[in-house]
Amino acid sequence: MNSRDMAIEQLIKISRFYGENPEYVLLGGGNTSWKDEQMMYVKASGYALGSIDRSGFASMSMEALNAVWDKEYSSDEEVREQQVLTDMMDARMPGETARPSVEALLHSFIPSSYVVHLHPALVNGLTCGKRGKAAAEEMFGDSMVWVPSVNPGYILAREARSHALNHQKKTGGFPELILLENHGVFIGADTPEGIKESYTQLMNALKQQAEREPDLSPLAIDSRRQQVLQQGIRRACSDSRRAVVGMMNHELERFLTDREACHPLSSAFTPDHLLYSGHTPLWVSADLFERDDPVSEIEQKVGEYEKREGVFPKSAAVQHTGIFGIGSNARQAESACLVFLDTLKTAVYSESFGGPSFMSQERIDFIRSWEVERYRAKVQENQ
Ligand SMILES: [Zn+2]
C-alpha cells in the first residue's frame, strides 16, 4: 500500500466513525475529504458517511480546484451555479465518474490533509442561535471564524474562504473551526486523531454551555389521530400509499401546546432541514379531530397548504399529538420525521445561545429553486 492508499483508508475510517454516530450525523448528511498537493478525495453526492467505501469518494485535481478562485462567473445566479458545476465536474481526475459533493470547494481551500464537515444538532444550536456569533467568539476566540449565512454553493465557498483568509492575515493562523451560520462546522487537521481531538473539544465546550438537554423520552401517539391524519393526507394527494410516520416525546409536548409555542419548529434552520422535512410543517390543531368529518378537514388543510406554499407538505406538527414525516414511501417519511426531530433538538440547544434563528426567507427561496438540491433530493429518492 502506498501512502496515498493508506491515507484514503484512514479517510474511510474516520468518515464511518462520525457517520455511524447519530449525535454527529443524520442520514446522508456531512462530508469528508483528504488531500495532498496534487489531489483531493471528497465525498461524492448520494453516499452516506456511515457506510462509505472508496467508491463514495470523487478524486479531484487540486490545481483545477485552486484555479476556480481566479475565475469570473456570471452575476446571474442560475448561470453562475451552472458554470461552477461544470468547472467542478471538469476538476475531477481523468476517468473519475462520481459526482463531487456541492461542498467540495469548501474542503479544497482548508490547508489540512483531512477535513470533516458535519451538521450536529448541538453545533447547530450555536450556529442557529441569535447570539451564536458572540457566544462562539467568547468560547473559541481566535481559533474560530464565523461565516454569516449566504446562499449555498459557490457563494458560500467564496465567503467562507475570504473569511478564513482574512482571519489568517489578522491572527497569523488559519482557523481551527469554521462555523457556518445556519449550516454546521468545518474542521481540518493533518491526522485523523487531530480531527477527533478538535471535534471532542468543540462538543464538550458546547455541552458545557447548553443550559438544558432536550427531553426525548418517548410518549405514545394517539393512533386514532394518526390514522385520521394519514387518511386525510392520502386523500389530498390521491395516493393511497403516501406514508406518514409520527413521533411524540416529552419535549414535543411543550412545543405542541399551541401554534405560538410551536414557532421554534415552524421553519428551516439549515439547508438539510429544508431538504428533508420541508421549509415549513403543516400545522394541525387538535380541535379538528373532534369535528364531524375530520378526514375531510385534514384533506382541506393539506389543499390549502399546497396552494399557499406551492408544494405538498413533507411534515406536519399536530397540536398535543406529535410530529409527522410525510413521504411517497416509508423511508422518505421516516427521514422527514427524523430530521424534524433534529429541528426540535436544534431549537432546544439554540435556547442557550439567544434563541432560535431560522434561515432567511431569501435563502430558503434560493435553496428551494436550486438545481443541485433537486438533484440531491432525486438521489435520495433513488437510494
Ligand atoms: Zn453542509
Per-residue pLDDT tens over the stretch 353-367: 999 999 999 999 888
> Distance, CA 270 to ligand 1 centroid (Å)?
9
> Distance, CA 183 to ligand 1 centroid (Å)?
6
Read off the pTM: 0.93
> Distance, CA 186 to ligand 1 centroid (Å)?
9
CA distance linking residue 209 with residue 206, whole number of Å: 5
CA distance linking residue 130 with residue 136, whole number of Å: 11
> Distance, CA 177 to ligand 1 centroid (Å)?
14
Burial degree of 219 (CB within 10 A; 0-12, 13-18, 19+): middle
Burial degree of 233 (CB within 10 A; 0-12, 13-18, 19+): buried
Superfamily of domain 3-207: Class II aldolase/adducin N-terminal domain (3.40.225.10)
Q: What string of DSSP letters covers 29-65?
A: --EEEEE-SSEEEEEBTT--GGG--GGGEEEEEHHHH
CB neighbour list of residue 215: distance below 8 Å, 6 or more residues apart = 249, 250, 251
> Distance, CA 226 to ligand 1 centroid (Å)?
33
Q: How much is the pLDDT for 316?
A: 98
pLDDT, mean of residues 297-309: 95
Q: For residue 223, what pLDDT band results from cuts at 50, 70 and 90?
A: very high
pLDDT, mean of residues 172-192: 97
Residue 381 has pLDDT above 70, yes or no: no
> Distance, CA 251 to ligand 1 centroid (Å)?
26
Q: How much is the pLDDT for 378?
A: 55
> Distance, CA 221 to ligand 1 centroid (Å)?
32
CB neighbour list of residue 308: distance below 8 Å, 6 or more residues apart = none
Q: How much is the pLDDT for 383?
A: 44
> Distance, CA 86 to ligand 1 centroid (Å)?
20
Task: Please say whether the beta carbons of 31 and 183 come within 8 A.
Answer: no
Task: Please say whether the beta carbons of 151 and 363 come within 8 A.
Answer: yes
Phi and psi at 302, nearest 5°, equal -65, -40
> Distance, CA 231 to ligand 1 centroid (Å)?
35
CA distance linking residue 118 with residue 31, whole number of Å: 7
Pick the CATH number of 223-382 from 3.40.50.2300, 3.20.20.120, 3.40.225.10, 3.50.50.60: 3.40.225.10
What mean pLDDT value characterizes the chain?
94
Task: Please say whether the beta carbons of 149 and 363 come within 8 A.
Answer: yes
Asked if the domains 3-207 and 223-382 are classified in one and the same CATH topology, the answer is yes
* Domain extents in the chain: 3-207, 223-382
State whether residue 243 is helix, strand or coil: strand
> Distance, CA 184 to ligand 1 centroid (Å)?
6
Residue 37 has pLDDT above 60, yes or no: yes
State whether residue 240 is helix, strand or coil: coil
State whether residue 190 is helix, strand or coil: coil
CA distance linking residue 269 with residue 356, whole number of Å: 8
Number of H helices, E strands in the chain: 15, 11
pLDDT, mean of residues 366-376: 65
CA distance linking residue 245 with residue 226, whole number of Å: 9
Helices 77-90 and 154-171: angle between axes, nearest 10 degrees: 80
Of 183, 302, 137, residue with least CA distance to 235? 302
Number of neighbouring beta carbons within 10 Å of residue 253 = 15
**DSSP classification of residue 354:** T
Number of neighbouring beta carbons within 10 Å of residue 86 = 10
> In this structure, which residues have their CB less than 5 angstroms from ion ligand 1?
184
> Distance, CA 180 to ligand 1 centroid (Å)?
9
> Distance, CA 320 to ligand 1 centroid (Å)?
33
> Distance, CA 99 to ligand 1 centroid (Å)?
16
